[in-house]
Amino acid sequence: MVSAPAPELAAETLLEVRGLTIRYGDKVALQGVDLEVRRNEIFGIIGPANAGKSSFLRSLNRMDEFVHGMRVEGSITFAGRDIGAVRNLYALRRMIGVVFPLPVGLPLTIYDNVALAPRLAGERRRAVLDEVVERCLRRAALWDEVKDRLKSLGSLLSGGQQQRLTIARALSQDPQLLLLDEFSIAVDPVTTMRIEEVLKDLKSEMTIILVTNLVQQARRLADRTAFFLGGACVETGETERLFRSAEDSRTVDYLEGRFG
In tens, the pLDDT along 112-163 reads 999 999 998 899 999 999 999 999 999 998 999 999 999 999 999 998 899 9
In a domain, 260, yes or no: no
pLDDT at 6: 42
In a domain, 3, yes or no: no
How far apart, in whole angstroms, are the C-alpha atoms of residue 12 and residue 38? 5
pLDDT at 1: 38
The DSSP code sequence of 13-51 is EEEEEEEEEEEETTEEEEEEEEEEEETT-EEEEE--TTS
120 Cβ neighbours under 8 A, 6+ residues apart: 90
Overall average pLDDT of the 204-211 stretch:
95
How far apart, in whole angstroms, are the C-alpha atoms of residue 217 and residue 101? 15
How far apart, in whole angstroms, are the C-alpha atoms of residue 105 and residue 153? 9
Task: Catalogue the E-assigned strands of 157-203.
Answer: 177-181
Query: Can you give the CATH number for the domain in which 232 is found?
Result: 3.40.50.300
In a domain, 228, yes or no: yes
pLDDT over threshold 70, residue 170: yes
In a domain, 6, yes or no: no
- Percentage of residues of the chain with pLDDT beyond 90: 74
- Percentage of residues of the chain with pLDDT beyond 70: 95
Instruction: Give which of 55, 2, 118, 49 is closest to 259, Cα–Cα.
Output: 49
pLDDT over threshold 80, residue 102: no
In a domain, 4, yes or no: no
Overall average pLDDT of the 191-215 stretch:
93
How far apart, in whole angstroms, are the C-alpha atoms of residue 128 and residue 130? 5
Q: Using one digit for the tens of pLDDT, what is the confidence trace for 8-46? A: 444 489 999 999 999 999 999 999 999 999 999 999 999
pLDDT over threshold 90, residue 90: no
How far apart, in whole angstroms, are the C-alpha atoms of residue 169 and residue 155? 14
pLDDT at 237: 95
Instruction: Give which of 24, 59, 25, 49 is closest to 228, Cα–Cα.
Output: 49
27 Cβ neighbours under 8 A, 6+ residues apart: none
Where does the pLDDT of residue 211 fall: very low under 50, low under 70, confident under 90, or very high at 90 and above? very high
Contact between 54 and 211 under an 8 Å Cβ cutoff? The reply is yes
In a domain, 2, yes or no: no
Based on the structure, what is the number of domains in the chain?
Answer: 1
- Would you call 6 exposed, middle or buried from its count of C-beta atoms within 10 A (0-12, 13-18, 19+)? exposed
Overall average pLDDT of the 84-97 stretch:
87
What is the DSSP-derived secondary structure letter of residue 8?
P
The range of the structural domain enclosing residue 130 comes to: 13-255
Q: Using one digit for the tens of pLDDT, what is the confidence trace for 48-79? A: 999 999 999 999 988 877 788 899 999 999 99
Residue 129 three-state SS: helix
Contact between 210 and 29 under an 8 Å Cβ cutoff? The reply is no
The β-bridge relationship of strands 177-181 and 96-99 is parallel
In a domain, 49, yes or no: yes
How far apart, in whole angstroms, are the C-alpha atoms of residue 164 and residue 162? 5
pLDDT at 85: 86
CA angle 93, 216, 96 (to 5 degrees): 5
In a domain, 197, yes or no: yes
At 258, give phi and psi (nearest 5°).
-75, -20
Contact between 205 and 14 under an 8 Å Cβ cutoff? The reply is no
Overall average pLDDT of the 248-253 stretch:
96
pLDDT at 64: 75
